[in-house]
Structure 1
Amino acid sequence: MANISMTEVSLMCHPQSDAVGIAAIDVTATLGQGGEIKLVYRVTGALEALKIADRAIPNRADGLWKNTCFELFVGNSEDKSYLEYNFAPSGQWAAYQFSGYRAGMTELETRAPIMSMAQSVDVLTVFVTLYVPYTERHADLWVGISAVVVTKSGEISYWALAHPVGSPDFHHKDCFALKLEARSGA
């Protein structure tokens, strides 16, 4: 039997932001036997109003949150460090590591995620496969799955599994609300 951890979740719009015509953002997260995390982000709603960057060469880029993008934060139960990944429907991505809450940010040396996108009139789907260094430690992963949705008129909404009290803050420990079980040696 394959040792795979798969979870389906719905993101919530932060109470201080407007959903900007988005009905739902659902995500499937899978931690596979080989240490890979597979994510499927599905945005349902008025996509014509969204600011989505045009397809680009799938390379590392900063500032992806200026357009609609999807994020994954990964920590473990062993220390305060964590990783941040950003995925744009354009195919561009970013990866950072932090030594603690918003501290010691450096670019994460990692291989590029495998990404693809599909879009219909009212559903945008972004597929991501990435390899996270923490998975080699056989530790449970605590993840925060989130999205920044930007409209063509400049409105921004913040979506996450859970939100801390106050302003949107995906780095806050309250956002690391999903546990992906460690792979066993079996």
Structure 2
Amino acid sequence: MSRVLELTCHPQTPANAIRRVRVELGQSFDGLLLSYFVEGKEALSLAAGAPSERTANLWQTTCFEMFLRPAGARGYHEYNFSPSTQWAAYAFDGYREGMTDLPCPVPPSVERGEETGEPYVVRIHVDLNDIAKGPLRIGLSAVIEEKDGTKSYWALAHPPGKPDFHHPACFALELPAPSAS
């Protein structure tokens, strides 16, 4: 079963031509399936295709993000996914503390969107077998760069002040533990 979630643009970083960002989220026995849909594709700045490998600083341009925190935990995980198919994954001990590369025995799968048609879609599978066995708090977000250089920040929820996807308020969705079917 999947659900479609609407991301909202942070009020301090309005988009020029991007009209909407949605995420279809599905759970499987081994992880999560995410499809990010961006309307306004003609204005979207997209990184060129590249090998699907761990890469730093993806958030500096168009990047789709997911944050996971096991229920009751202080630490959390951050995943970044580029339209280039590159990805990054980090573990944090607490709010922006103790960042390390998150081991990914099964790397995330990022499927590059089609160059034609609307909306632009990036499809992602993240294996969670080595992450969490119980319920999770999740934050879904996106950094969207337009061809004119405009950057907007989209998320399920935003804290007061400047955009901050790491803030606890952004972990706005609770996911039950995956079923073993």
TM-score interval, normalised by the smaller of the two chains: over 0.9
Deviation, 1:185, is 5.8
Matches of 2:67 and 2:16, distance apart in 1 = 24
Matches of 1:48 and 1:23, distance apart in 2 = 11
Paired residues for 1:1-186 under 5 Å: 6-33=2-29, 35-45=30-40, 47-110=41-104, 111-119=106-114, 120-132=116-128, 133-135=130-132, 137=133, 139-184=134-179
Matches of 2:150 and 2:79, distance apart in 1 = 23
Matches of 1:77 and 1:180, distance apart in 2 = 9
Query: Identical aligned pairs, as a percentage?
Result: 42
Matches of 2:42 and 2:120, distance apart in 1 = 11
Matches of 2:180 and 2:123, distance apart in 1 = 28
CA contact (8 A) 1:85 1:93 kept: yes
Q: Which ranges of 4 or more aligned residues in structure 1 deviate by more than 4 Å?
A: none
Deviation, 1:121, is 4.0
Over 3 Å counting, the alpha-carbon distance change for 1:23 and 1:78 in structure 2 is same
Q: Can you list the C-alpha shifts for 1:18-55, whole angstroms capped at 9, x where unaligned?
A: 1221111110111212x21110000011x232221100
Structure 1 runs not aligned, ≥5 long: none
Q: Can you list the C-alpha shifts for 1:59-79, whole angstroms capped at 9, x where unaligned?
A: 110111122110000001131
Q: Can you list the C-alpha shifts for 1:95-133, whole angstroms capped at 9, x where unaligned?
A: 000000000000001031112122324311000001123
Matched positions, count: 178
Over 3 Å counting, the alpha-carbon distance change for 1:185 and 1:149 in structure 2 is closer
Structure 2 runs not aligned, ≥5 long: none
Aligned-pair Cα RMSD in Å: 1.5
Report the TM-score, using the length of structure 1 for normalisation: 0.90
Matches of 1:28 and 1:48, distance apart in 2 = 21
